[in-house]
């Protein structure tokens, strides 16, 4: 009986520590726009700004709805390396400078890899979306990302 109670307690702790997107405890979604050669692309994103949010990112998620993602705001431009530890879905990582310009894109990153995924230049933010999204929507370096942290939102 004690073992069953312990197992149930651990399972409950894991469930509450790992909310599903859009579920209880999920962050409020905000809109990010990217101006591409083919038009404006919109994403509903969770904004990660605190140390805990930046560290956790999209870890433990089993899926990510199309058109959604996470925007990591590091507050200022810096050398950024990301990884895929405990991340179960392939992602595109869009590295963005302080002015809102796409620096580079790491496409279809490998789930659970500990290999660093780096920005090609100092970056302020990273937008993570489903793997293959950037190519499908024609998102390229130089495209403009519109969001309040870049000082270019209306």
Domain total of the chain: 1
Is 146 a domain residue? Answer: yes
Residue 14 lies in a domain: no
Q: What is the pLDDT of residue 121?
A: 98
DSSP 83-111: --TT--S-EEEEEE-TTSBEEEEE-SPPT
Q: Which of 61, 54, 95, 66 is nearest to 78 (CA)?
A: 95
Q: Is residue 79 part of a domain?
A: yes
In a domain, 5, yes or no: no
**How would you write the pLDDT of the chain (154 residues) with one tens digit per residue?**
444 334 433 333 333 344 444 433 456 899 999 999 999 999 999 999 999 999 999 999 999 999 999 999 999 999 999 999 999 999 999 999 999 999 999 999 999 999 999 999 999 999 999 999 999 999 999 999 999 999 987 7
Q: Is 15 left (phi over 0), alpha (psi -120 to 50) or beta?
A: alpha
Does residue 100 belong to any structural domain of this protein?
yes
> Helices (DSSP H) in 25-105: which residue ranges?
51-56
Residue 44 belongs to some domain of the structure: yes
> How far is residue 142's CA from residue 146's CA, in Å, rounded to a whole number?
13
Structure confidence by residue, pLDDT tens digits, 40-57: 999 999 999 999 999 999
Within-domain flag for 12? no
CA dist 123 and 76 (Å) reads: 8
Range(s) of the domain holding residue 130: 21-150
CATH code at position 97: 2.60.120.1140
Assessment of whether the complete model's pTM goes beyond 0.85: no
């Amino acid at each position: 009986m004690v073992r069953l109670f312990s197992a149930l307690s651990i399972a409950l702790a894991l469930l509450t520590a790992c909310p599903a997107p859009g579920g209880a405890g999920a962050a409020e979604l905000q809109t990010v726009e990217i101006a591409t050669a083919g038009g404006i692309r919109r994403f509903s994103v969770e904004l990660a700004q605190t140390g805990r949010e930046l560290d956790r990112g999209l870890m433990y998620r089993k899926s990510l709805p199309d058109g959604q993602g996470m925007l990591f705001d590091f507050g200022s431009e810096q050398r950024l390396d990301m990884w895929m530890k405990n991340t179960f879905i392939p992602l595109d990582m869009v590295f963005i400078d302080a002015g809102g310009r796409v620096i580079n894109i790491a496409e279809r990153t490998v789930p659970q890899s500990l290999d660093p995924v780096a920005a090609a230049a100092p970056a302020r933010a990273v937008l993570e979306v489903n793997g293959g999204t950037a190519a499908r929507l024609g998102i390229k370096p130089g495209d403009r990302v519109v969001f309040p942290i870049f000082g270019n939102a209306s």
